[in-house]
Structure 1
Amino acid sequence: MTVREIRLFGDPVLRSSCDPIVLGDRHAASLIEDLLESVQLPGRAGLAANQIGVALRAFSYNIDGEVGYIINPVLVEVSGEPELVDEGCLSVPGFYFMRRRYPFARVTGVDLDGNPVELSGEGLMAQALQHETDHLDGHLYIEGLEPEAKREAMRAIRQAPWY
């Protein structure tokens, strides 16, 4: 297993919609191992495959001590009144911005053996499920900011030393 380097804002792979993983692909197990290893570093709640340069539909999560993954996730339900939450992203390091997220989310997908997987939750889990599926659809969290906040965020990002 390998902790993989995180792709940063501006990398084209982050703007691409990810392809489904074909079960049985010999590279899938290696990808999942890398996602699981990489998400376990401190301060990481979730990691989408395209954030490590692989444009395939999978992500790992590390919420409240529970570490896992899902392949070919589909966001099937969100509920509640969207609320402003402080959100950051490993691909936009050093920044947190307020954006609206639903307080509950549910995704479905499969594991490496093709068994059905359902993840759902409130709070940070709901936020992570929405954030990571957005990544797999080629969307960064800053796209969901209110217009003025997005302008300020883009201005700050362009001044970041890593940009």
Structure 2
Amino acid sequence: MAFDTLPVVEYPDPILRQVCEECDIKDKSLKKLAKQMAKTMYKNNGCGIAAPQVGVLKRIIVIDCDQEDGRQDPITLINPKILELKGELVTEEEGCLSCPGISVPECRREYAVVKFTDFDGEDYIIEGDGLLGRCLQHEIDHLNGKTLFESAAPAARLKALRDYEIARAAGAKPGETSID
């Protein structure tokens, strides 16, 4: 069965500022949604996507931070919850499928510990640093109604909003982190 991609919701759509509701693990539509989210993420060269980015206010994210060899092995996290953030605060540029054409300096902890549920109702813990740790924090922010703009420091937020308007006017598409 082939799954279609879904349109990516772009800022300033108000759905991106809403807090998502918990998923009912018995909801059979979650598997289809996760497959569509993964296909959408890969099509747009992302390493993570949250349900509100495809217009669904459910607490589900799909990530795949290890695509160097061309292999696609997405992980679906249902009702993810950050248990612990540790390590130094590190500022790095982040892009977002919902904010095409820009990247924004984001200050995040180096290491994230996240509890989630799988499709069988089993609870797991995923831990990660580097790109995985950053991606987990970024996508869970989406579930809590937070975009790159709300996460950024005030000066970076103003610059990012200006840059984003320019990128939108230039026709930036999801997956693009610059308009150069």
Taking structure 2 as the reference length, the TM-score comes to 0.85
Instruction: State the distance in 2 between where 1:117 and 1:34 align.
Output: 23
Instruction: State the distance in 2 between where 1:42 and 1:15 align.
Output: 21
Q: Of residues 40, 43, 48 in structure 2, which corresponds to 1:38?
A: 40
Mapping of 1:4-153 within 5 angstroms?
Answer: 4-41=6-43, 43-65=45-67, 66-153=73-160
Deviation per residue, 1:27-64 (Å, 9 max, x gap): 22221121222222362110000000000000000111
Instruction: State the distance in 2 between where 1:38 and 1:73 align.
Output: 20
List alignment gaps of at least 5 residues for structure 1.
Answer: none
Over the aligned positions, Cα root-mean-square deviation in angstroms equals 1.5
Instruction: State the distance in 2 between where 1:111 and 1:57 align.
Output: 12
Instruction: State the distance in 1 between where 2:157 and 2:44 align.
Output: 27
In the comparison of the two structures, how many residue pairs are matched?
A: 163
Q: Is the 8 A contact 2:101 2:164 kept in 1?
A: no
Paired AA for residue 145 in structure 1: A
Instruction: State the distance in 2 between where 1:121 and 1:128 align.
Output: 9
Taking structure 1 as the reference length, the TM-score comes to 0.94
More strand as a share of residues = 1
- Per-residue deviation at 1:94? 1.0
List alignment gaps of at least 5 residues for structure 2.
Answer: 68-72, 173-180
Paired AA for residue 56 in structure 2: V
Q: Is the 8 A contact 1:70 1:117 kept in 2?
A: no
Q: Is the 8 A contact 1:106 1:118 kept in 2?
A: yes
Instruction: State the distance in 1 between where 2:127 and 2:36 align.
Output: 23
